[in-house]
Amino acid sequence: MNKHYTLQRNEVVLRTSKSRVQRGERVFSGYTDDLILTNFHLIWINKGIFGNVKQVECLPLGLIKVHNYQAQAFLNKSSNGMAQLTVYFQNGQESFKFQSGGKREVGEWVDAINRAVTGNVVAPGTSAASVSMALPGTEDLADALRDTVSQIRDAFGVGVAGTSAVAPPPPVRVSSKCWSCGAPISGITRTLAKCRYCDTESRLP
């Protein structure tokens, strides 16, 4: 059980929790933990009621799912109705609740995670206030409306107010070198790639 974490040579802190944090739906746990966002990881620091560090877990940003150039980090509600941050990883999901700050703080975390993962600001209409608090089925309706708009634009060759006729650029694969051992690495631009020789994570240009 790791109780310490040392930042990598090219790792920097982007955001720290303003208030104490609770991870997941643990019934008998209080708000004792800390959450840190770096350019490589989402770091959860589990603490006891007296502030002693019990566990440190690093969740790699490179494993966060991305859809339409937006990281899958959302503001939604926990089972008791409180605002929480939910992040979808390739191997599961994690949720965090903040002792204070509510929707506003979670929304700031959503934006910060998205910038760290994709380099983009959360697009209007897809940030915490709209997508993440949506009722079940709203995403399906939004997708249907987007498809309808696309069909109208394609059929008549005209733009529709509030939409863009320019498609986002496709993902670009790039090659670079591991900052630690110098071995070649490759992947999608502005994402994290792990060196197969030394397991060091590097952000691609």
Q: Which CB contacts under 8 angstroms, 24+ apart, belong to 24-27?
A: 24/94, 24/95, 24/96, 25/78, 25/79, 25/95
Burial of 71 (0-12, 13-18, 19+ CB in 10 A): buried
The gap between the terminal CA atoms of the chain, to the nearest Å, is 33
Q: What is the structure's pLDDT at 139?
A: 46
Q: What is the structure's pLDDT at 128?
A: 42
Q: What is the structure's pLDDT at 27?
A: 57
Q: What is the structure's pLDDT at 179?
A: 73
Residues 102, 43: Cα–Cα separation, whole Å: 20
Q: What is the structure's pLDDT at 152?
A: 46
Q: Whole-prediction pTM value?
A: 0.60
- Tens digit of each residue's pLDDT, the chain (205 residues): 456 778 888 999 999 998 899 998 765 567 889 999 999 999 999 888 777 888 999 999 999 999 988 999 999 888 878 899 999 999 999 999 998 878 899 999 999 999 999 887 664 444 444 444 444 444 444 455 455 545 545 555 554 454 445 555 677 788 888 777 788 888 887 788 888 888 887 778 7
- Strand, helix or coil for residue 169: coil
Which residues make Cβ contacts (< 8 Å) with residue 64, sequence separation at least 6?
Answer: 42, 71, 72, 73, 87, 88, 89, 90, 113, 117
- Strand, helix or coil for residue 164: coil
Q: What is the structure's pLDDT at 101?
A: 75
* CA 138 vs CA 122, 162, 174: distances in Å: 18, 19, 36
